[in-house]
Amino acid sequence: MAKSTTPGNPVAARQRGVTMKDVAKHAGVSRTAVSFVLSNRENASISEETRTRINDAVQELGYRPNAGARALASRRSDWYGIVTEIVTAPFAVDIIKGAQDQAWLDRRFLLIAPSDQADAVGPNQGLEDAATEKLLEQRVEGLLYAATFHRGVHVPASANEVPTVLINCFDADGKLPSIVPDERAGGRVAVERLLQAGHTRIGVINLDPVIPAAVGRLEGAREALAVAGLELDQELVVSGYATADGGYEAACQILDRYPQKDRPTALFCLNDRMAMGAYDAIKERGLTIPGDIAVIGFDNQELIAAYLRPKLTTVALPFERMGALGVQTLNALTAGQPITADQQLVDCPLLERSSV
């Protein structure tokens, strides 16, 4: 498909915007004067009178600056780009929200480019490369990469041309700064909450044990138990698929394995979807939440956690905050701060609802 614009400039010609030149003519001054006033130059000497005359002209003509031309002349675009699979798999969409809000505050524009990358390792980087390339063509001053779940990733080589920050993922090559949730602290706070409610025998419904989320959260759980002088009973840790069905099955195993007196009185589900399944398993057995079994989740997926009955107490992933921090970090880097491979850990707050 070639460009379908015919030589005649059909559409573009229709709409010619008001330029500085027009404003200048209308105000009876030079274009330079207009530029000075609009950019609020400090050591420009423009009398108060012409200044208002120019501002009036701007109002009357409805002048609107041309961001592209400005970027070209000033050699800075005020744009950041974010490459993300989140558009495809919207689980962590709050990252975008956080980043965009922060960018808006900082008078920057965030260009969002989709990356359909299903797996981090495979050579399916076509679209991701293309997205990065497209963003660089727009002359973004910084790049963000955001993943739907915490993991290591490889970024396209061309990302090295501008400051780059990873969000909810980290550089598998260990060269770029990143912002990730503090899974361990999250696991700790979850189990602390259960301990505080008097539970000492706690079942854990685990994710795939190799992913960073599972490793961190479980370690945090161990730490919390250790502080209370307890140990994590490996028999009470059951892994399953990260779905409601997986959670259901894992919960059944844990609940049916013991006579009532040895049965755990609380379940720590490493994500909310599995907690959703665990609810079913518990209710099926005629047990109540939190009376007989307390449940605590992880992720704070609103649609689940806030709508389960009883509402699910869970640990939130700080997506929005990570997004904002990403932009702030980019601000620092573009301002000249040296690039390091630091990992910023962001707190995962406990959200009390009614299941503990």
Partner DNA sequence: TGCATTTAGTAACGCGCGTTACCTGCGGGA
Partner DNA sequence: TCCCGCAGGTAACGCGCGTTACTAAATGCA
- Report, in Å, the least distance between residue 120 CB and a copy of itself: 16
28, 52, 69, 341: which one binds a copy of itself (CB under 8 A) = 69
334, 349, 350, 353: which one binds a copy of itself (CB under 8 A) = 334
Stretch that binds DNA, among 18-26, 126-134, 240-248, 282-290 (CB under 7 A): 18-26
Task: Check residue 55 for interaction with DNA (CB under 7 A).
Answer: no
- Residue 178: partners with Cβ closer than 8 Å, 6 or more residues away: 165, 166, 167, 169, 170, 171, 341, 342, 343, 344
28, 44, 104, 256: which one binds a copy of itself (CB under 8 A) = 104
Closer by beta carbon to a copy of itself, 101 or else 292: 101
Stretch that binds DNA, among 70-78, 173-181, 209-217, 290-298 (CB under 7 A): 70-78
Location of structure tokens 């601000």: 331
Partners of 65 in the beta sheet? none
Pairwise CA distance, residues 290 & 288, whole Å: 6
Task: Check residue 121 for interaction with DNA (CB under 7 A).
Answer: no
39, 160, 337, 354: which one binds DNA (CB under 7 A) = 39
- Report, in Å, the least distance between residue 84 CB and DNA: 26
Task: Check residue 72 for interaction with a copy of itself (CB under 8 A).
Answer: yes
Closer by beta carbon to DNA, 43 or else 260: 43
Stretch that binds a copy of itself, among 19-27, 93-101, 188-196, 231-239 (CB under 8 A): 93-101
Task: Check residue 265 for interaction with a copy of itself (CB under 8 A).
Answer: no
Task: Check residue 341 for interaction with DNA (CB under 7 A).
Answer: no
Q: 322 is written with which tokens?
A: 């990570």
- Sequence length of the chain is 356
The option from DNA, a copy of itself, none interacting with 49 (CB < 5 to 8 A, set by class) reads: DNA
The option from a copy of itself, DNA, none interacting with 77 (CB < 5 to 8 A, set by class) reads: a copy of itself
Contact residues: DNA, CB under 7 A? 7, 16-17, 19-21, 29-33, 35-36, 38-39, 41, 44-47, 49-50, 65-66, 69-70, 72-75
